[in-house]
Amino acid sequence: MTPPPEDRQTATAELVRRGIPGGAAHLALVRRELRAWAATVGLSVQDIDGLLLASYEALANAAEHAYSGDGPRLVDLVATQHSGGYVQVVVQDYGSWRPEPADPGFRGRGLVMIRNLAHDAEIRKEAEGTTVVMRWRLTPDR
């Protein structure tokens, strides 16, 4: 439950949910927790909406990986407010990345949404799983 050292230095508020079961009901519960948290960190209303939607897409994407292959696995979400003036949400799964289908469909649209809703998004697909890092700048003048 302890964040890595580089996060500990700058994170001023965080929501950590590790080992989320990938089922739809659990994802809805995490979204509610994230909504309550996001309202406290100083994001604009539009960015709160974007953060909730992008984070849900990342969770859904991770849950799909977690359900593929050899049985259910778990998903981690770590949301942090950094003193550098941004909010970061990291969603990580430990499943395998499936080949892209011909029609982008559900998952393709989810990734497009993540890239467009976050101010900055990075999607790392590795052998041991997928990590989605999304950031939103805090703009106090808004």
Partner 1 sequence: MGELDGRRDFNPLLDARDPRAGDERITIALQRHGDAVVVVVDGEVDLATGARMNEVLAAAVAAAPATLVVDLERVSFFTSVGLTALALGQRAAVEADIAFRVVATGRAILRPLQITGMAAGIAIYPTLAQALAGDRGDPPNSACPPQDG
We find the least distance from the C-beta atom of residue 28 to partner 1, in angstroms, to be: 4
Which of 83, 101, 120, 142 touches partner 1 by CB under 8 A? 101
Size of the site for partner 1 (CB under 8 A): 34
91: Cα within 13 Å, side-chain hemisphere: 33
Residue 58, token pair as written in the block: 């990342």
Contact between 69 and partner 1 per CB under 8 A: no
Please give the sequence-ordered ranges of beta strands (E in DSSP) within 33-85, or none if there are none. 74-82
Residue 125, token pair as written in the block: 């697909």
Task: Compare residues 109 and 137 and give the one whose CB is closer to partner 1.
Answer: 109
Angle between helices 105-117 and 45-67 (to 10 degrees): 150
Which of 64, 96, 97, 119 touches partner 1 by CB under 8 A? 64
Binding window for partner 1 (CB under 8 A); candidates: 12-20, 47-55, 82-90, 118-126: 47-55
Q: Which of 3, 22, 23 is nearest to 81 (CA)?
A: 3
Q: How far apart are CA 36 and CA 30, in angstroms?
A: 10
Give the footprint of partner 1 on this chain (CB under 8 A).
22-29, 31, 46, 49-50, 52-53, 56-57, 60, 63-64, 67-68, 101, 103-110, 112-113, 116-117
